[in-house]
Amino acid sequence: MSIAIEPAAEGDLGDIDALWREAFADDEPRHRAVLTVPVKLAFQPDLFLVAREGGRLVGSVMAGYDGYRGHINRMAVLQSHRRRGVGLLLMREAEARLKALGCVKINLQIRAGNNDVAEFYRKLGYAVEEHLDMAKKMS
Ligand SMILES: CC(C)(COP(=O)(O)OP(=O)(O)OC[C@H]1O[C@@H](n2cnc3c(N)ncnc32)[C@H](O)[C@@H]1OP(=O)(O)O)[C@@H](O)C(=O)NCCC(=O)NCCS
């Protein structure tokens, strides 16, 4: 069955929640779909993409563009649908949308030691850049 990539919709909340609970099992509660999906649907919703197979939601990627750099988050595919190219389709559509907005470089973070995911991004042309990653929680 073919895979369709399209922006997420409000009705996808439950499926996205299930996908993220499976893909990001040790997620902090503040990352839960019920909190983050409505915010993203109100801000750059065209950059929040889902993959569907025959109407079933099987993957997601949340891209962002700040006018300078592009960012990728919440890249996830259902375990049952991995290694079938769904992740590549999601990323290529996210990249195409970012490029159309004028984005010339995309940054993303993965957890240290997550070699499988690093392989996935390498396949798409991403390379490791040595930076000290800093963050500040605003709430
Ligand atoms: C990372 C992830 C989204 C990849 O999705 P996917 O649909 O399975 O990826 P694809 O089938 O498009 O893979 C494309 C290529 O990436 C590489 N790749 C993907 N998964 C890989 C793995 N587990 N190990 C090694 N290489 C991998 C392969 O080169 C693959 O091509 P191939 O299958 O022809 O060898 C998926 O494994 C996932 O949801 N992981 C858990 C969530 C996560 O950690 N997300 C990243 C947050 S930063």
Rounded to an integer, the average pLDDT of 57-85 is 98
Residue nearest to atom 8 of ligand 1 (CA): 82
Q: Kindly give the distance from the C-alpha atom of residue 125 to the centroid of ligand 1, in angstroms, as a whole number.
A: 13
Asked whether the beta carbons of 52 and 4 are under 8 A apart, the reply is yes
Please determine, for residue 139, whether its predicted confidence score (pLDDT) is greater than 90. no
Please determine, for residue 91, whether its predicted confidence score (pLDDT) is greater than 90. yes
Q: CA torsion 60→63→6→36, rounded to 10°?
A: 60
- Residue 63's pLDDT is 98
Please determine, for residue 1, whether its predicted confidence score (pLDDT) is greater than 90. no
pLDDT tens digits, one per residue of 50-70: 999 998 999 999 999 999 999
- d(C-alpha 97, C-alpha 83), whole Å: 23
Q: Does the beta carbon of 90 sit less than 6 angstroms from any atom of ligand 1?
A: no
Atom of ligand 1 nearest to the CA of 110: 48
Rounded to an integer, the average pLDDT of 69-87 is 98
Q: Does the beta carbon of 86 sit less than 6 angstroms from any atom of ligand 1?
A: yes
Q: Is 63 helix (H, G, I), strand (E, B) or coil?
A: strand
Residue nearest to atom 1 of ligand 1 (CA): 117
Backbone CA torsion sign across 77, 83, 84, 86: positive
- d(C-alpha 93, C-alpha 91), whole Å: 5
- Residue 95's pLDDT is 98
Asked whether the beta carbons of 60 and 22 are under 8 A apart, the reply is no
Q: Does the beta carbon of 76 sit less than 6 angstroms from any atom of ligand 1?
A: yes
Domains and CATH numbers, the chain: 3-123 (3.40.630.30)
Q: Kindly give the distance from the C-alpha atom of residue 118 to the centroid of ligand 1, in angstroms, as a whole number.
A: 9
- d(C-alpha 65, C-alpha 46), whole Å: 11
Residue nearest to atom 27 of ligand 1 (CA): 120
Mean pLDDT of the chain: 96
Question: Which residues does residue 51 pair with via DSSP β-bridges, in sequence order?
Answer: 5, 59
Residue nearest to atom 34 of ligand 1 (CA): 83
